[in-house]
């Protein structure tokens, strides 16, 4: 039997990097996974203990490379 539960709003969770949805918990056979509620093909944590930290690491939007130094023209 599979149960889907919402994560309490007090816990910080990054939104899914593919669709922007807040993750939910899936419980199957006593094991928990953090999953995307809209698409099962998006990232999900390995079954076991609730691992919101892993979800947050894998779903961070990475900023592009930013070079702070000004561009110098060739002389």
* Gyration radius of the chain over CA positions: 18
Q: Which helix or strand (DSSP H or E) is residue 54 part of?
A: helix 52-58
* pLDDT tens figures, 23-64: 999 999 999 999 999 998 999 999 999 999 999 999 987 655
In the prediction, which pLDDT does 60 show? 86
In the prediction, which pLDDT does 73 show? 74
pTM: 0.76
Tokens of 15: 């939104």
Q: DSSP secondary structure string, 14-47?
A: PPPTTT-PPPEEEEETTEEEEE-SS-TTS--PPS
């Amino acid at each position: 039997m599979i149960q889907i539960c919402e994560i309490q709003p007090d816990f910080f969770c990054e939104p899914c990097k593919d669709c922007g949805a807040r993750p939910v918990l899936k419980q199957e056979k006593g094991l928990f996974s953090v999953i995307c509620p809209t698409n099962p093909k998006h990232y999900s944590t390995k079954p076991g203990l609730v691992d919101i930290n892993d979800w947050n690491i894998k779903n961070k939007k990475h900023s592009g490379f930013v070079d702070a130094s000004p561009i110098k023209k060739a002389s």
